[in-house]
């Protein structure tokens, strides 16, 4: 790739991780970074970017590619700000946001050369300190060009992001928003609603919160996502989500009707159909919701068991992002739930534990 200037606006988890991937594959690309003072300082000290410019406008005007790796509403404001600048004629503006139609609408209104982008990857952690060059490996990276004339520029972006080792997908903006609305945005709403609904049990049944530490906590863990970010996502995909929520309410009403009628045959059919559909989902690909790399280890209830496992992981330099002791499994001595950052670390941990101990391991 020829010498290029690129400006990354937003150096959090996604922006900084993309910067590292770009530099690894294309060391000649000159990276400007733009963020708050503290984050910018970390980025410069760790050589994640080449320069933190004093003047936003000057850096933008020199850039061949501008990446908006900021929350959706902030990205929309930056688009309007960029529209006021005399940018290079062939500059490509792209983003990393979860919705696309509103961004395209603003870009078209201001006659900006915008190609929507969405790397479908995330982490339990956020911010520049969570920067990870393997974050996007085998994840889907979606581009949403609006015009056929942008085909060449999409290829440029693919080459630029080659170091992510992601799998590229092209969608129309409206296709992207409806798919992510169904597979990501609606599940976040449902998970949050389940957590709120279950909370009424706590005053009445003190044990409820303890029992929720098992499967309920796992199926609702996406409810721990950033509230402001998800407020922005929902509002930017409002019309599609309103339609999806209406369809969801119809589906729940259908189940309610079957329960009222005591229709065991149709209830069983409902679960059988869901199981069949669920079992056909791909298991090796990263999807719309960031994967949780959990390993469950059956351990003996005796002193030193946990230390043995963590010591083994330390010996092989495998990092944990979380460790939890499950207390709701009565059929075995104890269960350790170990959470890792990547699938690579998950598989390595399983192999080493099974090879060096008598403990059984299994995935979720």
- Give strand ranges (E) for the chain: 5-9, 30-34, 65-68, 92-95, 114-119, 140-144, 167-170, 293-298, 322-326, 335-340, 360-363
Q: Considering all CA atoms of the chain, what is the largest pairwise distance in Å, rounded to the nearest integer?
A: 69
110 neighbors 90 (Cβ within 8 angstroms): no
pLDDT digits (tens, 9 = 90+) for 121-156: 876 667 899 898 988 988 899 999 998 889 999 999
Task: Output 341 or 182, whichever has higher pLDDT.
Answer: 182
pLDDT digits (tens, 9 = 90+) for 253-278: 999 999 999 999 999 999 999 999 98
Q: Which CATH class is domain 176-279?
A: mainly alpha
Global pTM? Answer: 0.79
Q: What pLDDT, on the 0 to 100 scale, is given for residue 218?
A: 77
Beta-sheet strand order (sheet of 65-68): 30-34, 5-9, 65-68, 92-95, 114-119, 140-144, 167-170
Please report, for the chain, the start and end positions of each structural domain, with discontinuous segments joined by +: 5-171, 176-279, 293-363
Label residue 332 by pLDDT band (50, 70, 90).
very low
pLDDT digits (tens, 9 = 90+) for 211-239: 776 678 778 888 888 898 899 999 999 99
Q: Which fold has domain 5-171?
A: Rossmann fold (3.40.50)
Which among 194, 174, 185 has a CA at the least distance from the CA of 234? Answer: 185
300 neighbors 360 (Cβ within 8 angstroms): no
Q: Is the pLDDT of residue 343 over 60?
A: yes
Strand partners, 223: none
Q: What is the mean pLDDT of residues 90-113?
A: 96
Task: Output 334 or 310, whichever has higher pLDDT.
Answer: 310
Task: Output 297 or 289, whichever has higher pLDDT.
Answer: 297
DSSP state of 67: E
CA gap 94, 309 in Å, rounded: 44
83-97, 274-288, 295-309: segment of lowest average pLDDT: 274-288
Q: What is 293-363's CATH number, 3.40.50.1820, 3.40.50.1970, 3.30.70.1150, 2.60.40.10? A: 3.30.70.1150
Q: What is the mean pLDDT of the chain?
A: 89
Q: What pLDDT, on the 0 to 100 scale, is given for residue 124?
A: 61
Tokens of 135: 């974050």
Label residue 331 by pLDDT band (50, 70, 90).
very low
Q: Is the pLDDT of residue 39 over 80?
A: yes
Contacts 24+ apart (CB under 8 A), 324-328: 324/213, 326/213, 326/214, 326/296, 327/210, 327/213, 328/210, 328/211, 328/213, 328/214
Tokens of 329: 């499994």
């Amino acid at each position: 790739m020829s010498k290029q200037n690129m400006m990354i606006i937003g150096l959090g988890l996604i922006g900084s991780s993309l910067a590292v991937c770009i530099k690894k594959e294309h060391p000649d690309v000159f990276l400007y970074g733009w963020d708050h003072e503290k984050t910018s300082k970390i980025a410069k000290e760790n050589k994640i970017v080449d320069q933190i410019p004093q003047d936003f406008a000057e850096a933008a005007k020199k850039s061949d590619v501008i990446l908006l790796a900021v929350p959706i509403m902030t990205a929309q404001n930056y688009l309007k700000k960029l529209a006021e600048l005399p940018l290079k004629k062939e500059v490509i503006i792209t983003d990393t946001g979860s919705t696309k139609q509103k961004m395209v609408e603003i870009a078209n209104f201001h006659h900006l050369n915008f190609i929507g982008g969405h790397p479908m990857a995330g982490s339990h952690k956020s911010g520049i300190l969570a920067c990870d060059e393997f974050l996007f490996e085998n994840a889907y990276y979606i581009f949403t060009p609006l015009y056929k004339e942008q085909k060449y520029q999409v290829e440029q972006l693919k080459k630029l992001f080659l170091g992510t080792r992601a799998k590229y997908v092209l969608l129309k903006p409206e296709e992207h928003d409806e798919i992510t609305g169904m597979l990501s945005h609606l599940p976040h709403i449902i998970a949050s609603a389940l957590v709120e609904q279950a909370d009424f049990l706590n005053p009445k049944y003190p044990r409820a919160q303890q029992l929720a530490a098992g499967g309920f906590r796992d199926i609702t863990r996406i409810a721990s996502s950033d509230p402001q970010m998800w407020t922005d996502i929902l509002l930017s995909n409002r019309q599609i989500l309103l339609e999806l929520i209406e369809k969801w309410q119809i589906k729940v009403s259908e189940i309610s009707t079957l329960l009222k009628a005591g229709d065991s045959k149709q209830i069983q059919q409902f679960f059988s159909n869901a199981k069949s559909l669920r079992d056909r989902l791909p298991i090796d690909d990263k999807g719309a919701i960031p994967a949780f790399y959990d390993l469950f280890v059956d351990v003996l209830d005796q002193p030193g068991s946990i230390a043995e496992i963590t010591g083994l992981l330390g010996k092989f330099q495998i990092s944990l992002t979380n460790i939890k002791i499950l207390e709701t499994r009565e059929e075995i001595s104890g269960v350790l739930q170990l959470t890792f950052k990547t699938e690579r670390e998950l598989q390595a941990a399983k192999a080493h534990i099974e090879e060096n101990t008598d403990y059984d391991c299994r995935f979720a």
